[in-house]
Structure 1
Amino acid sequence: MKNKLLHTVMVLTLGLGIFNAQNSGLKVLKSIPAEGNGGWDYIQINPLNHYLYASHSTQVNIIDPETLASKGIIKNQQGVHGIGFDQKNRGYVTNGKSNSVYVFDVATNEKVSSIEVGTKPDAVIYDAFSGKVIVANAGSNSLSIIDPSSLKVESTITLIGNPEYMASDGKGKIYVNIEDKSKIAEVNLKQQKVLQYFSLASGESPSGLALNLKNHHLFAACENGLFIVDATNGKLVTNLPIGKGCDGVAFDPETNHIFASNYDGTLSVYTQNATGQYIKLDNIITEVGARTLTLDPVSHKVYLPTAQYEKQIRENEKRLRMIDGTFHILEVGK
């Protein structure tokens, strides 16, 4: 994912009406400390053990969010970005600097293999329908399709631009945000090819992506709002105002909540009513830098990594420096 140092809240013209904001009842419940310094990117929750896996500089922190106990650190990663899990109790970590995917045993945290992929691998997901692990290569504009049985790249799918996050429909298709083209790629995994590209119109630099399987709406996080696209025909449904610097989106099918995590220190929350109108619930105050997220589908809690920052930008630097020893994960829930 990309870094975004933006600090103000945007207002957009909406395609569909939005009712007045309501209170979701959600709030920041606690801050979970995590060892290590440096930047971070994705955070994921393992659906089997419900531990948090946070990519952080050259390592992945593994934490039990209930007890706050560390469950290990996967060290010596080279430009760590994404984390994914297959159904063989293995984890996959993308290393952007070594153009590889580090595979580890979830039970022991020990290395299983290292797989060479495309240039600057970023996001990684597991598609249960096809049984494949898919890696988005930001540097080579491609997807690497990994067979978990052989732990080898079985094919490479070329894209028209830089892929960011991906979402699966659970029926053999995945959707990929193309950051530098403001499009979404529709990919058939069985045919292993791009079927078409959906335009995000005025959407700028899409990053995070989520999918509501019930109504087939894609939620694409752009720099100028949350753009919603109908996955059945590629048409833009609406765009919703969110905070600045969004890099992560999640959809909870049980609560019908849509979450957009923003660098400016807000978590934008929406829902959709029975008539199809999108309703703004609230902007939860988080912390500056909390731009990525993961959702626990069982507890319905949202987790966002961040750190504390210095108060002023140093001379000849473009961004605020993080304060060493302050990396932590926020838990949002009821």
Structure 2
Amino acid sequence: MNATFRRVFAASLGLCTAVLAASAPHAGYRVLHRYAPGGDEGWDYLAVDAAARRVYVSHGDEVVVLDADSGTTVGRIGHLDGVHGIALAPALHRGWISNGRSGKVTAFDTRTLKATATLEASGGNPDAILYDPASRRVFTFNGRSANATAFDAASGKPLATIALPGKPEFAVTDGAGRVWVNIEDKSELAELDPKTAKLLATWSLAPCESPTGLALDATHRRLFSVCQNRTMTVLDADDGHRVASVAIGNGPDGAAFDPRRGIVYSANGQDGTLTVVHEDDPDHYRVLATVPTQASARTLALDPRTGHLFLSAAQFAVHTEQGGPHHHPSVLPGSFTVLEVGREP
């Protein structure tokens, strides 16, 4: 997600100190709460354990754990190295964190939030990470080396390296024998067999450009890729044919699908909005609302119990020419925030 993070940094200049009016209702959706867990570093993915009522938030070199109902900080997993993603296996009481800078994966106990092992990815910059219950394997998607590493969830032993057709981004599993991952630099989506650790197919996402966030409707077999040309592309998960394209906001990164409510979400960090898309049926979609959030709120996680979403955001220091064209503005002290978005009661 580094490329997307840089895009959001640049896009936030001039916007970073302004928070859009989040209190105005948009089809009943609004920012319900803002939580300030502290710290001034960057961030990437979030993950929700709905049963345990915990929200895992990547933040610099730690993962902050919030209570999903109150937003209070209940723990921190520290001593990490450039956190990207968090994968959870609640039934096993295990979780895994991808460390992009070190190329390692930190395994931890979800009950104690204590690290239990350090695993070595077989590629550079492990980014997206997921647990696949069908194979009982953990997969990291390694952005710098265009491959994926499969680990045994119980032992942590690396089992296989899967070559991918380009730079992987978000990934999803149906829990029944298939995994999919967006290929950002090729505007493609790759299908994997997690049990055999094989690449099965590669499908075009055109007219999508630079796909990042990915979500899945496992029941209706639909995949939702959000793209940098303000498009959500919907593919059939069985044969890869394009079903629909939906207009979304600018600078999308994270996506989520709520099967209980039939809603697809896109977090758009550049314009600070959340696009809410209703699945009328598996082949037809309509935008219900464009909800103001906050500039830079680009990643999200869904709490399936409440239907609420959690998004990370911050404000940034004003850019100056002295920093040069590749200068990344720093997060303003104390401005890192986790937003909770949902429908008003």
TM over 0.5: yes
| Aligned counterpart, 1:15 | none
The alpha carbon displacement at 1:214 in A equals 2.2
* 3-state SS in 2 of match to 1:198: strand
Taking only aligned residues, the RMSD between alpha carbons, in angstroms, comes to: 1.8
The alpha carbon displacement at 1:317 in A equals 4.5
| Aligned counterpart, 1:252 | 258
Q: How many residues align?
A: 320
Give the 5 Å matches for 1:1-334.
1=1, 2-3=4-5, 4-5=7-8, 6=11, 24-86=27-89, 87-117=91-121, 118-224=123-229, 225-263=231-269, 264-274=271-281, 276-310=283-317, 312-315=318-321, 316-318=323-325, 320-334=329-343
Q: Name stretches of at least 5 consecutive residues in structure 1 with no aligned partner.
A: 8-21
| Aligned counterpart, 2:15 | none
Deviates more, 1:50-59 or 1:314-323: 314-323
TM-score computed with the length of structure 1 as normaliser? 0.92
Deviation string for 1:103-151 (max 9, x for gaps)?
Answer: 1111111110000002100011111112111111111111111111111
Kindly indicate which of the two structures has a greater share of residues assigned to helix. 2
Paired with 1:294 and 1:54, the residues of 2 have a C-alpha distance of 9
- Say if 1:35 and 1:61, in contact at 8 Å, map to a contact too: no
Q: Name stretches of at least 5 consecutive residues in structure 2 with no aligned partner.
A: 13-24
* 3-state SS in 2 of match to 1:180: helix
Paired with 2:309 and 2:324, the residues of 1 have a C-alpha distance of 32
- Say if 2:244 and 2:283, in contact at 8 Å, map to a contact too: no
Deviation string for 1:10-55 (max 9, x for gaps)?
Answer: xxxxxxxxxxxx9532211010111211110001112331211111
| Aligned counterpart, 2:22 | none
The alpha carbon displacement at 1:277 in A equals 2.3
Percent of pairs with identical residues: 37
The alpha carbon displacement at 1:203 in A equals 1.4
- Say if 1:126 and 1:133, in contact at 8 Å, map to a contact too: yes
- Say if 1:217 and 1:231, in contact at 8 Å, map to a contact too: yes
- Say if 1:44 and 1:53, in contact at 8 Å, map to a contact too: yes
Deviation string for 1:206-252 (max 9, x for gaps)?
Answer: 11101111221110011011111111221112221111111000000
The alpha carbon displacement at 1:68 in A equals 2.6
TM-score computed with the length of structure 2 as normaliser? 0.89
